[in-house]
Amino acid sequence: MKCLARLLPMCAVLGISACTSAPFVSAPPAAQPVPPPQEYGLEPGDVVRISVWREEALDQGVLVRPDGGISFPLVGEIEAEGKTVAQISDEITQRLAKYIPDPVVTVSLQQSEGNKIYVTGRVNNPGVFLVNGPVDIMQALSMAGGLNPFADKNGIKVLRRQGDAQTVIPFDYRQVRKGEALQQNIILQAGDTIVVP
């Protein structure tokens, strides 16, 4: 009761009514953890740092060439495009094992200049956008400043090149904005172009 007597004046100062009768409110349930984004696959223009423990000569930055390959001493050519840094590290480790006993290889992404998407047409800020993580169509349109008043909201398309072939992926902005047909709002891949007619 002494503790309650001390609390009542405090409630009055704070302007809280019925301080003693208000039920305790439990904290909301913890939010579900967000799943980690898909691991990034290297693209031409990216720069990785490759180092081998105790081998100073084998510590250098390497550019992923336009053909998707990289070169590294004692290892030779590696097809890097689309592979994660962990996959590149494993491949280099296997090849170096012929020359260095139990090599410890570290590969880290230094620059992701190759992870670009393009937004063109009737948006407020068309252009090339460098992205450092997963980006869907709605997010990319937001990065481009949104649609202008003359945009054809249900005629948007994503152009995706795979080798020599190019596919067209339709996107209906009006549906997705309403929370419908959300499967259209795909995660973009490096090199994708959004066309807003």
> Tell me, what CATH number does 64's domain have?
3.30.1950.10
Q: How many CB atoms lie within 10 A of CB 54?
A: 9
pLDDT averaged over every residue in the chain: 84
What span, in angstroms and rounded, lies between the C-alpha atoms of 94 and 105? Answer: 10
Report which secondary-structure segment, H or E, holds 10: helix 2-14
Contact 137, 169 (CB under 8 A): no
pLDDT tens sequence across 84-127: 999 999 999 999 999 999 999 999 999 888 789 999 999 999 99
Distance of CA 31 to the CA centre of its chain: 21
Same domain, 136 and 99: no
Q: What is the largest CA-CA distance in the chain?
A: 81
Same domain, 166 and 104: no
Same domain, 100 and 132: no
pLDDT tens sequence across 7-51: 445 444 444 444 444 444 433 333 333 334 457 889 888 999 999
Arithmetic mean of pLDDT, 68-85: 94
Q: What's the predicted TM-score (pTM) here? A: 0.61
* CA atoms 132, 135, 140, 145: torsion sign: negative
Q: How many domains does the chain have?
A: 2
* CATH code, 185: 3.10.560.10
Is position 57 within any domain?
yes
What span, in angstroms and rounded, lies between the C-alpha atoms of 79 and 58? Answer: 19
